[in-house]
A and B are shown apart, each in its own frame.
Chain A
Amino acid sequence: MGRTLQFEIFRYNPMDPNSKPRMQTYYLEEKENMTLFLALNEIRETLDPSLQFDFVCRAAVCGSCAMVINGRPGLACKTKTKDLPDKITLHPLPVFKLIGDLSVDTGIWFRGVAKKIEAWVHTNKTFDPNALEERMDNELANQIFELDRCIECGCCIAACGTARMREDFLGAATINRIARFYIDPRDERSDQEYYEVIGTDEGVFGCMGLLGCEDVCPRNIPLLDQIGIIRRKMAIASTGGKVGRLFSVFAKKKK
């Protein structure tokens, strides 16, 4: 312990016409078990009350404190300073709308893509508030929960070369989200209907497999494994079931 940490922090307030984007340096004594979230709060309390950054839960559940830490998107609350060098450079996440300094609005972006993929259960059943909830197989519930672990922090989008080059690319979190509805039996959409939503170059076929998403995900979700499954499903759907039938012929022969 006892290191003096040098923070290089991006400063810019788009609401202030006199503000120009710049890097500002702060020095802070490192403390035991210090996270970036604690360090940023100490900077704001003791050095610069004007520094803007977001946090809510400080436990990697809310996804608010995502930022670019020494070049890699990550959560400030989950990053310990002892794992970082003496010099720590912080930038706001790219792609998203900048609110100021390290604070970005991921909400507008995620709402936009959720509407595009229609991220809700599509069903024709009328809801009966008095009926017992339908039962679900435990294993399936766990699979859905595994995909629902995403906190929409935006790290995977900021780490994606495609998302940065192509503004309309849906990104890993969104494809992961559609996978969640795909395996949910309550969603009655067919493969063809999913294809219409995500079987495009802005959707799953736009992914170039750069693996940035998977390598930075603070929740450790195997994002590219999920994208791979969806890509195969959608590629098979694009043939109008021809390839699917071919596979089923092979499967029958094997038996």
Chain B
Amino acid sequence: MSVDATVETYKGHRLAGWLDWLQMLTGLTLAVFIFAHMLFVGTVIFGANAFNWIASFFEKTYLAQIGGPILFFIFLLHGTLGARKMPFRTKEQKLIVRHAKMMHHRDTWFWVGQAVTGSILLVIAAIHMWTVLSDLPITAAKGAQEVQNTLWALFYVLLILCAGFHACIGLYRIGVKWGFITRATRAKALKCIYILMGIYAGGELILLLRFLSLKV
């Protein structure tokens, strides 16, 4: 409970605002990236050659070697910034779950979902980035060999579902928090977000099946 206390003010202290900008911008970057990532990987629909061609393009231009670690850093930064808002203490975790149950409120559950998927992603997306970037060049054959192992296939299903949910609800939340999605436009925005989530999860799962059917 908030009671009489000295107001905590710092003259010229602008850190909280900067961190909020960073959290939003890193999240936005990662959300845009995973959709772009889906399009690049999507070349596998046209066969292994198309996929290998685009992969070698990213390696020849050093986009993978330089952009990859930069993205990894943005990803860790976003995780750290997001963690400031997450319930880590058992008391807080119990409270937020009890609160969401009490309220029967979709948007509160969405946030709980984001906290959970965010925590999972911090581990599994890191594994994915590490295994791919530490074993260049990226080829369709390697990808296919990997997902044809059942455990890896399950790993990727989890990664796709978590990334799709976290990124799409994240975009929605940026809109809500920064006032771009208002009371008047909320229902419509949410519909767009559901469609986006469907496109991502559906698209990525189709790609996963394509890799499974690829002859190694």
Contacts and interface: CB of A to CB of B under 8 A. Distances in A.
Interface of A: 68, 71-72, 94-97, 108-109, 111-113, 115-116, 118, 159, 161-162, 164-165, 167-168, 170, 195-197, 199-203, 205-212, 214-215, 222, 224-225, 227-229, 231-232, 234-235, 237-240
A112 B179 contact: no
Contacts of A238: 14, 16-18, 20-21
Interface stretch (B27-35, B65-73, B99-107): B99-107
A200 B8 CA distance: 9
Nearest to A117: B7
B1 A225 contact: no
Contacts, number: 140
Contact of A167 (B1, B84, B108, B183): B1
12 contacts: A71-B103, A112-B5, A161-B96, A165-B96, A199-B17, A206-B85, A209-B177, A212-B103, A222-B182, A227-B177, A228-B178, A238-B20
B104 A72 contact: yes
Contacts of A212: 103, 105, 107-108
A232 B179 contact: yes
B16 A225 contact: no
Nearest to B84: A201
Q: Identify whether the interface residues of A are mostly helix, strand, loop, or mixed.
A: helix
Given A210-B107, A212-B107, A235-B21, 8 more contacts: A71-B101, A71-B102, A164-B96, A203-B16, A208-B173, A212-B108, A227-B177, A228-B176
Interface residues of B, number: 43
B19 interface: yes
B111 interface: yes
Given A161-B96, A212-B103, A239 B7 contact: no
A83 B11 CA distance: 51
A239 B91 CA distance: 35
Contacts of B101: 71
A238 to B, nearest CB: 2
A39 B92 CA distance: 35
Interface string B104-135: 11011011000000000000000000000000
B100 A116 contact: no
A88 B78 CA distance: 43
Contacts of A225: 179, 182-183
B102 A161 contact: no
B87 interface: yes
A159 B104 CA distance: 11
A115 B4 contact: yes
Contacts of B182: 222, 224-225, 228
Contacts of B20: 205, 231, 235, 238
A202 B10 CA distance: 14
Contacts of B111: 161, 208-210
A204 B20 CA distance: 10
B14 to A, nearest CB: 4
A215 B5 contact: no
Contacts of B110: 210
Contacts of A209: 107, 111, 173, 176-177
Nearest to B109: A210
A68 B104 CA distance: 12
Contacts of B99: 94, 161, 164
Nearest to A224: B176
B16 A201 contact: yes
Given A164-B95, A164-B99, A224-B176, A195 B14 contact: yes
Interface in B7-54: 7-11, 13-14, 16-21
A189 to B, nearest CB: 12
B150 interface: no
Given A165-B87, A239-B17, A68 B102 contact: yes
Contacts of B61: none
Contacts of A168: 2
Given A197-B9, A208-B111, A208-B173, A229 B3 contact: no
